Every structure is written in C-alpha cells, then in structure tokens.
Amino acid sequence: MDPREYFVGIDVSKGSLDVAVLPDGQSWSIANTEMEIPSLVERLKELSPTLIVLEATGGLETLIATSLGLAQLPVVIVNPRQARDFAKATGKLAKTDAIDARMLALFGQMLRPEPRPLKDEQLQEMVAIVTRRSQLVGMLTAEKNRLGSSAQAVRGDIQEHISWLEQRISETNNTLRQRIRESPLWREKDQLLRSVPGVGPVLSASLLSGLPELGTLNRKKISALVGVAPMNRDSGKHRGKRMIWGGRASLRSSLYMATLVAIRHNSVIAAFHERLIAAGKVKKVAITACMRKLLTILNSIIRNSTAWDPLMSINP
C-alpha cells in the first residue's frame, strides 16, 4: 500500500466537478450529476485520501459532499474567502476550474482543516427552513423601512406585504418547532439550549441546524467557527485593532439578538457585561465578548448534556 498521504480538491460548479490530487498531480473532470458521482466516490475510496476539500458554493456542493460523507470519506467544506485568501498568499492569481481544484487540494495539504460532521437529510431540511426564515425577516425589515418614506399610493400595498411576511414568519417558526419535536435528539438538545436565559427558539433552531459541531469542539475553536473570536491584525511593530470576521454570519446574527436579551435577563451574562463596561470597553466590544461567552456556555451545556446552572456557567 502506498504510504503517502493524498489530498483531494474538488472544484464544484453547476455542471461539473473538477478533481485534483496531491502529491501525485492527478486531475480529471466529471459531470455534477447523480449518475456520475458514484464512480467518483468509488475512485476516491480506492485512493483512501487523508482529506477531501470542497468550497461552499451555495448548495451546489450538497450532492457530492453528502455522497462522500455517506462513504465515510474525510470531507471538509471550506469558506470560499479562506480558499481565495490562501490562493493569493501562494501567488496563484490565475483562475480556472482545474487550478481552483488544485489549490483546494493544496489548501488541505498545507492547512489540514478538520472534517466537520455532515448534515443528514432531515437536518438539511431544517437548514433550508432557518435560511428561509432569515430571508423573510430581511424582507420584512426592508418593507418596514420602506413604509415610512413611501407615497400614499403604495402604502396599502406595502402594509399588505408586511402582514403577509409576518404571517409567513410565524408559520415558519411553527415549522421549526415541529421539526425539533419530531427528533428526540434535537428535542433534548433544544431543551438544554433553551434552559439558558436569553436563548429562544430562533437561536436554538439556528444552532441545531447550522452548528452541528456544537459540543464537539473547545471554546476557542467553536468561537472561531462562528466568527466571534477576535483576530490579530499585526504587521511588524504595528499592533492593529482586533476584529471578528468570517465564520457563519447568519448564525452570528441570531447569537447577537439572543445576547442582547441575555444581557438583560441572564445573571451571568449581565454581570460579565457590566464588568466589561466598567473596565472601559466600548459597547460593541462588550457585546461581542458577551456573544462569545454565551456561545461558550452553550457549547459546554451540549458537551456535558447538563441544563443551565448559573454557578457552573461562570467559567464554562
């Protein structure tokens, strides 16, 4: 058996899958269809790769990622911005599907991101529902903003649309609750998450659907994954302002809203926020730190399968 480690990059487009393998330099392309993917999976199983890297491509990667996961192959889906920044860092500015596939393989070989749990069919449905709810909320916000400056001739139409959106959001919330009730595992985790003051059905559903890694990573990794860990911005002697970026933006939005509630109603988060403000932290920085602390508490609760306890949550 070949003792070398193999790293595979797959560039996903609507019509094709471009594959590159390192270190031996194999490359090929197949159609991105249910008919072609099984043969690719079998070929990769024979290769026994250390890691297979895909980019998140708005859902186009779902079929191949699921097929690889079911075959128990080590697959990781990376943020496109991470992949682009890596390519720029290596000086590779040219862009073709074949080059992108090779860069993804090199990304895996050099950085070795950790494979994440793949979502099953039921979970993917829940992700779609949470995503749709976020879209509806965005449309509702836009329409409410529009209503204040609209002409009288269209105000009735906008108001009617607002009412329809509010009804759809309510129905979507009911659908999310039903999905959680249908799964004993989700139901148990939902009860644990919502035992924490400040955590409501929206954040719980968002975490269940969008963060399957919750409870499996340490607090630094889970914070970085969501995008609430401060990143250094230093160069030479210059020390830049620490900032959060990347991660899962839609999930971070739900966490932000829950944190605002927790600052008012959760004794641990409220006390932590007061200490930060008293220490001179600006409001935005304090809220971000509270988001990180709340996420750390939730991560610990799921990891230990224990409900909220203020005393245990001071240092999760």
Question: Same domain, yes or no, for 95 and 128?
Answer: no
Domain's final residue, options 111, 130, 162: 111
CB 126 within 8 A of CB 178: no
Q: What is the pLDDT of residue 233?
A: 46
pLDDT at 213 over 90: no
Q: What is the pLDDT of residue 244?
A: 46
CA 140 to each of CA 175, 200, 298, 314: distance values in angstroms, whole numbers, following the listed order: 19, 20, 29, 37
Q: What is the pLDDT of residue 240?
A: 44
Q: What is the pLDDT of residue 314?
A: 55
Least confident range from 2-16, 53-67, 136-150, 258-272: namely 53-67
Question: Same domain, yes or no, for 74 and 193?
Answer: no
Question: Same domain, yes or no, for 172 and 270?
Answer: no
Residue, of 197 and 83, whose pLDDT is higher: 197
How many other β-carbons are positioned within 10 Å of the β-carbon of residue 105? 28
Q: Which domain holds residue 62?
A: 7-111
> Residues 155-175: what's their mean pLDDT?
93
Domain's final residue, options 91, 111, 131: 111
In a domain, 2, yes or no: no
Question: Same domain, yes or no, for 192 and 292?
Answer: yes
List the alpha helices (DSSP H) in 90-200. 97-111, 121-147, 152-182, 184-193
Q: What is the CATH classification number for the domain harbouring 42? A: 3.30.420.40
pLDDT above 90 coverage of the chain, percent:
48
Question: Same domain, yes or no, for 174 and 195?
Answer: no
Residues 185-205: tens digit of each pLDDT:
788 889 999 999 999 998 998
Structurally, the chain folds into a number of domains equal to 3
Residues 22-57: tens digit of each pLDDT:
999 999 999 998 789 989 999 999 999 999 999 888
Question: Same domain, yes or no, for 105 and 125?
Answer: no
pLDDT at 2 over 60: no
> Residues 138-150: what's their mean pLDDT?
92
Q: What is the pLDDT of residue 119?
A: 61
Q: What is the pLDDT of residue 289?
A: 94
Residue, of 232 and 36, whose pLDDT is higher: 36
Domain's final residue, options 160, 182, 204: 182
Q: DSSP letter for 231, please.
A: B
In a domain, 44, yes or no: yes
State pTM to two decimals: 0.62
In a domain, 89, yes or no: yes
CB 54 within 8 A of CB 78: yes
In a domain, 116, yes or no: no
pLDDT at 232 over 80: no
54: left (phi over 0), alpha (psi -120 to 50) or beta: beta
> Residues 272-278: what's their mean pLDDT?
96
What the block records as the tokens of 313 is 């949550």
In a domain, 1, yes or no: no
Residue, of 181 and 266, whose pLDDT is higher: 266
> Residues 291-304: what's their mean pLDDT?
93
Question: Same domain, yes or no, for 97 and 223?
Answer: no
Question: Same domain, yes or no, for 74 and 174?
Answer: no
Question: Same domain, yes or no, for 150 and 210?
Answer: no
Q: Averaging pLDDT over each range in 57-61, 65-69, 200-204, which range is the top one?
A: 200-204
> Residues 259-275: what's their mean pLDDT?
95
